[in-house]
Structure 1
Amino acid sequence: MSLRPTLETRKAIPTMEGAGVKLHRAFGFQDPTELDPFLLFDDFRNDRPEDFIKGFPWHPHRGIETITYVLSGSVDHGDSLGNSGTLGAGDVQWMTAGSGIMHQEMPHGNASGQMHGFQLWGNLPSAQKMTAPRYQDVSAAEIPEVIDDDGTRVRVIVGEFWGRSGPVDGIAADPQYLDVSVPAGVRRTFRIDTYRRAFAYVFEGAAAFADASAPTGVLLEKEVAGQEVNIRDLSGDRTLVRFGAGDEITVQAGPEGVRFLLISGAPIDEPVAWHGPIVMNTQAELRQAMQDLRNGMFVQPAH
């Protein structure tokens, strides 16, 4: 087994999208090779309805897949193909935009006015850029959760883990998408296939992720021994941890435990031409997409 090195740890950056939704972006609109096949990751979390209620009105997508995971509140969605529905707490939607779709996503707070969810963009390989759009809506009850003897909990949203398979399938990036909770003081190691690019996103509590480049993970040993650790050494809320090559990661939960997403996927290794919500392989394809949008030809008729 080889421990994946921690290439980078960074905080998500506040930004605004849609019609004025305040959110935090962990990555996106920069170097598309950094976490290939993933392009963008947003954490939309607000306690004030005025910061999200205007939502994400009608907008186009082509050439990508999006996964929306709602933790609290709900999201109403509709599209140009006539699909509509509501995602509630714990629900997931994977949308393959393919050849083109127009859709909208309108968030609503829970009884306390709070809204929290994530959206991840996955690239499509050139051979699938112009496939027919499709949806997979998955209710919270359909997502398997495995609980280990030490209290570690893992919701398996996509891929296989600890003998369970997530309900979302047929995704081009062949991803693994896990929602992991590790209790206070517990140290765990998680396997990740060597060929995948991988990252963790911490959104509750804090933890130390062992680094293969550090001698024996001194920080982790101190924590296991119960010694006091400077909280600045831990990856806390809204932190992205980007891993290098290897086949496992080790995490040591902090004094309040930790909850994080662990996401990995097979790199596509193709050229990327990217403009907003449209991601193609060449500038010519990008210009064609914009022309289709102007000419009302963006959404292809169903076959």
Structure 2
Amino acid sequence: MSSQTALAISAAIPSPREVVHRTRGRGGGPITRLMSPSDLGQYLKPFVFLDLVDAPSSIASAGNLHPHSGIATVTVLTEGNLRFDKGDWGTGLLDYGGVEWMRAGSAIWHGDEYRPDSAARFKGFQLWVALPEAMEMREPEWQFVEASGIPAMGPARLIAGAYLGERSPIRSFDGLNYLLVTLAPGEAWTYETPEGHEVGWLSLSHGSLVGADTYHAGEMIAFDRSDAPIALRAGPGGATFVLGSAVPHPHELVLGYYSVHTSAANLQAGEARIAEVRHRYA
């Protein structure tokens, strides 16, 4: 790549979306915590928790059974693969473009659904989403959708939600979009934010992006409250990232250790239910 081309790629793209927060998270080893319900999740709710995981696939064999209530978790890989198996809920291969959606609802235990497949390592994101009040105490459910079942729109995969006439098969809820995007070096892409989706953020797994500034792998970027477009261009090495947008969650976050609810009463009911159903999953 010529120096002139590299310079052109590195030039900032004028964008109506202002960056209000940038973080590289905290933690060491295979897991970096980029957002928690007690910090950036307060601004970006219903998106309340995000981990970037870069680990040997063997850790999937160890199992880590733990409970949740009031939330959904969304797991996507940006590199490598894992075999998932949850019996009647589904079996198959999770790799780039595939999705695990687990709606904890009233209470669930999970952490034993993955095993290594052909890749020695994997990299990806686990996201927590605060559920709407009408969904937070429903019965739990899992969905595993392999990559072939997820809509692709150019460089983007629609992990959850509805966008540009497409709808993900994931049974999330209206007013929330989540995309996985890979851009070639220098490729430009604009997210046309749906009306009312004033919450917006992205996080990079690989490469770099140019927007109002240059963003790098391992960073999470939170945008201002607006439904204006998000204009981006990949840096010289390309870019792989996730992007979320949503209608703002209207409730205060009531937090337990593994749970997020809209009220203290629902948190109390969720934690009681966690204890009640443990025998089903242990």
TM score, norm. by length of structure 1 = 0.76
In structure 2, the CA distance between the partners of 1:3 and 1:44, relative to structure 1 (3 Å rule), is: same
Tell me which residue corresponds to 2:203: 201
1:14 is matched with which residue? 27
CA contact (8 A) 2:107 2:273 kept: no
CA-CA distance at 1:242 after TM superposition: 0.6
Equivalent in the alignment of 1:221: none
Aligned to 1:38: 47
Q: Does 1:240 align with 2:230?
A: no
Which residue of structure 1 aligns with residue 268 of structure 2? 287
Task: Give the Å deviation of 1:239.
Answer: 0.9
Seen in structure 2, the aligned counterparts of structure 1 residues 35 and 184 have a Cα distance that, compared at 3 Å, is same
Instruction: Give the AA of the match of 2:124.
Output: G
Contact 1:66 1:121 in 2 (8 A): yes
- For 1:74, which of 67, 82, 87 is the aligned residue? 82
Query: What is the alpha-carbon distance in structure 1 between the residues aligned to residue 50 and residue 62 of structure 2?
Result: 17
Is the contact between residue 205 and residue 236 of structure 1 (CA under 8 Å) also seen in structure 2?
yes
Distance 1:276 1:187, change over 3 A: same
Residues 123, 173 of structure 1: alpha-carbon distance in 2 compared, 3 angstrom cutoff: farther
State the aligned residue count. Answer: 261
Match of 2:11 in 1: none
Q: How does 1:250-289 map to 2 (within 5 A)?
A: 250-289=231-270
Inter-partner Cα distance in structure 1 for 2:270 and 2:34: 27
Contact kept? 2:178, 2:244, Cα under 8 Å: yes
Aligned partners of 1:158, 1:289: CA distance in 2, in Å? 25
Find the aligned partners of 1:260 and 1:66 in 2 and give their Cα distance.
18
Matched residue SS, 2:53:
strand
| Cα distance change on mapping 1:100 and 1:291 into 2, 3 Å | closer
**Deviations along 1:165-188, whole A, 9 cap, x unmatched?**
32223x236321111122222333
What SS does the corresponding residue of 1:128 show, helix, strand or coil?
coil
Residue 142 (str. 1) matches residue 149 (str. 2) = yes
Supply the AA of the counterpart residue of 1:282.
Answer: S
Task: Calculate the aligned-residue CA RMSD, in Å.
Answer: 2.6
Relative to structure 1, is the Cα distance of residues 241 and 279 closer, same or farther in structure 2, using a 3 angstrom cutoff? same
Tell me how far apart the structure 1 counterparts of residues 174 and 49 of structure 2 sit (CA, whole Å).
14
> Are 2:192 and 1:191 aligned?
yes
Q: Is the 8 A contact 1:126 1:281 kept in 2?
A: yes
SS of structure 1 residue aligned to 2:118: coil
Q: 1:156 to 1:280 in 2, by over 3 A?
A: closer
Structure 1 residue runs of 5 or longer lacking an equivalent are 17-21, 148-152, 211-232
Distance 1:259 1:297 in 2: 38
The equivalent of 1:123 in structure 2 is 130
Q: Percent identity?
A: 25
Equivalent residue for 2:69, pick from 62, 82, 92? 62
For residue 5 of structure 2, what is the aligned residue in structure 1?
none
Q: Residues 56 and 281 from structure 1, CA distance in 2 versus in 1: closer, same or farther, beyond 3 angstroms? A: farther
- Equivalent residues of 1:62, 1:101 under 8 A apart: yes
Displacement of 1:240? 0.6
Q: Following TM superposition, by how much is the alpha carbon of 1:84 offset from its aligned partner in structure 2, in angstroms? A: 5.6
| Corresponding residue for residue 4 of structure 2 | none
Q: CA 1:173 to 1:55, structure 2 compared with 1: closer, same or farther past 3 Å?
A: farther
Aligned-partner Cα distance in 2 for 1:193–1:251: 17
Q: Name whichever structure is richer in helix by fraction.
A: 2
Runs of 4+ in 1 over 6 A off after TM superposition: none
Structure 2, unaligned runs of 5 or more:
1-14
**Distance in 1 between the 2:105 and 2:274 partners?**
14
**Rg larger for:** 1
